[in-house]
Amino acid sequence: MIDIKKVELPSSPGVYKFINKESNIIYVGKSKRLNKRVKSYFQKQHNNKILKMIKEITKIDFVISESEHDALLLENNLIKEYKPKYNILLRDDKTYPWVSIKKERFPRVFLTRKYIKDGSEYFGPFTNVKGINSLLNIINNIYPIRVSNYNFSQKKINDPKNNIGLNVHSKNGNTLILGFAKYTKNNKKLLSEKAYNENIKYVREILKGNFKNVKEHLINKMKEFSELLEFEKSQNIKEKLKLLDTYQSKSIIVNDKYNALDVIGIIEDSKSYFINYLKINNGMIMGSESLKIKKKLSLEKKELRQIIMDLKFKYNSVNNNIISNINLNKIVSNNLKSYIPKAGDKKKLLDMSLKNILFFKKNLYNEKKERKTKKLSILLDLKNKLNLKKIPFHIESFDISNIQGKNTVASMVLFKDGYPNKREYRKYKIRSVTKPDDFESMREVVFRRYSKIIKENNLLPDLIIIDGGKGQLSSACQVMKDLKIYNKINVIGIAKKLEEIYFPNDSIPILLGKNTQELKFIQNIRNEAHRFAITYHKQLRSKTFIQSELEEIFGIGEVTRTKLIKYFGSIENIKKASKKELFRTIGKEKAEKIINYFTSIPKD
């Protein structure tokens, strides 16, 4: 479980993501104040479901938004994208409504939860259904519009539900509409198709949130009514203007004006670049990440390009458009297009990205995170030097240990983000090999490890390091081929004598410089696997020795020997144990047999 005291969170509105040890998002929530909301999970009494969720949290990510409204929309997007297991309430297909201006001769304007790509215009989505219905009523009072699916072949049509009457007839080839307002006996005004479309133009501006032209139009009408001493009508328009002033229809979180693009905000200091990445798909923010890269070369160099491409790969981004606060055209590949927005919604998205970086830079970097940045740089260099498919954030390494073919064991150590994850270490007692054979032992352990991962549908590593040369590497590769994962994972072998790096199907190894960070990193992982295997081997040998020694004592059976081994760990500790300890562990009668046996053995 994460230590919430060590987590820094902003007081801004935004979305928080709870992540487990498998790097899966298990819950997404939104709040007007992120720090207060997230910490409340760890300070209050909760039901069993929430308590279980809290125990699984190993990391907390967040995205700062401009408003609580945007946070709610972003929360909805992320829940539908990642389907976190603890988001029960929002995991169905419910979504927020849009306002549609239908692509028709006399366009209808109505609320819908279905987004149909038929050329119609959509505005929203809207989190407050009551509020948007009020706005539609305001729009209809200001600019009478169609809300039902009328059949224009009819001459007269009534819409009692909306209290609207419609009288259609033609004059000189032009369709005219009578009574697009509340139905009254004195309403005889004819509305031409041109005038109706002029109304739709103002409706469109209101839904976009561009009220300037609409307000000018209404202010002029209000002045006309005042001059005609029609103060009631003038006051009515004034109230509508006030409602328009307080209403905001736009959201930068969900906006259909842009379909798919990447937002990459970059700021720098003397030593590092800070990068925030936002993935936009179908007009929605679907992913976000902030990271820090130590400066090596200028921005035009390949290191930054590689980071950008790896982020796109990680978030499965296939679009070719990037917006940023710097010109990336000289950095990214030729098939990608980068530009700097100066105004509008894309500029707001970029500002949001930069806002996330500034908080990230200001509050989240302590000494531990600085070390993590250095490891990220090494991982990136390792990817480039070894020409790996992707940055090896998840590495597993295997080693075999035996003495004269007895107690053959294997170890698997796991490094995550460049650091050992000791909770995920595994040790194996080799079952199929009775004589010294590192090749067959490697086959067994690799098969046991990855057949289980496949069965349990867990994540495969980015890189496998085999302690040994061509023989051990070939053994591991054959098993990976049998399991059909050979082409999914990078695998290398490292031979001890010259520290050569072997690749599958390549008889000629490569030599990394002895003092390079990449080689030292690989050696560190290999040595950790070796240490873990040797430690396990010594434990087995010690237990075997104790077991055989204790077998010499009459009246001490298997169950008692196991208790002694488990409690004391070694013969020396048993010899040094007090009568009280032995009595408590195995009882008085058997303890006396142990004491008598060891006191009867002559000392050198």
Buried b (16+ CB within 10 A) or exposed e, 122-157: bbbbbbeeeebeebbebbbebbbbbbeebeeeeeeb
Residue 292 in contact with residue 304, Cβ under 8 Å?
no
Question: Do 354 and 427 belong together in one domain?
Answer: no
SS (H, E, C) 30-54: EECCHHHHHHHCCCCCCCHHHHHHH
360 located within any domain: yes
Question: Do 397 and 505 belong together in one domain?
Answer: yes
Question: Do 198 and 113 belong together in one domain?
Answer: yes
pLDDT score recorded for residue 150:
46
Q: What is the domain-level CATH number for residue 564?
A: 1.10.150.20
pLDDT score recorded for residue 412:
94
Q: Token pair 């031409």 is at which residue?
A: 192
What is the pTM (predicted TM-score) of this model? 0.39
92 located within any domain: no
**Integer Cα distance of 253 and 28 in angstroms:** 15
**Is 280 exposed, middle or buried (CB count within 10 Å of its CB: 0-12, 13-18, 19+)?**
buried
pLDDT score recorded for residue 183:
41
**Considering only CA atoms, which of 532, 431, 446 is closest in space to residue 489?**
446
Which one of 182, 209, 236 terminates a domain?
A: 209
Q: How many residues does the chain have?
A: 604
Question: Do 162 and 195 belong together in one domain?
Answer: yes
How many CB atoms sit inside 10 A of residue 283's CB?
19
Q: What is the domain-level CATH number for residue 68?
A: 3.40.1440.10
Q: What is the domain-level CATH number for residue 406?
A: 3.30.420.340
pLDDT score recorded for residue 259:
63
Question: Do 78 and 108 belong together in one domain?
Answer: no
The DSSP secondary-structure symbol of 108 reads B
**Is 305 exposed, middle or buried (CB count within 10 Å of its CB: 0-12, 13-18, 19+)?**
middle
Our count of domains for the chain comes to 5
Question: Do 410 and 495 belong together in one domain?
Answer: yes
**Which residue ranges of the chain lie beneath pLDDT 50?**
90, 150-188, 248-250, 367, 602-604
Give me Rg for the CA atoms of the chain. 35
39 located within any domain: yes
246 located within any domain: no
Q: Token pair 């199929």 is at which residue?
A: 432
**Is 236 exposed, middle or buried (CB count within 10 Å of its CB: 0-12, 13-18, 19+)?**
middle
Question: Do 73 and 136 belong together in one domain?
Answer: no
Q: What is the domain-level CATH number for residue 275?
A: 3.30.420
Which one of 462, 495, 514 terminates a domain?
A: 514
Three-state DSSP at 211 gives: coil
Question: Do 308 and 341 belong together in one domain?
Answer: yes
**Integer Cα distance of 357 and 369 in angstroms:** 15
Question: Do 450 and 397 belong together in one domain?
Answer: yes
Residue 39 in contact with residue 4, Cβ under 8 Å?
yes
Question: Do 166 and 269 belong together in one domain?
Answer: no
252 located within any domain: no
227 located within any domain: no
Over the stretch 486-519, which tens digit does the pLDDT of each residue have?
999 999 999 877 889 999 988 888 888 888 888 9
541 located within any domain: no
Domain of residue 283 covers: 260-365
Question: Do 350 and 305 belong together in one domain?
Answer: yes
372 located within any domain: no
- Mention every residue, 6+ apart, whose C-beta is less than 8 A from residue 274: 266, 267, 268, 290, 291, 292, 293, 357, 360, 361
Question: Do 204 and 131 belong together in one domain?
Answer: yes
Which one of 514, 535, 565 terminates a domain?
A: 514
Peptide bond into 125 cis (omega under 30): yes
Residue 393 in contact with residue 364, Cβ under 8 Å?
no
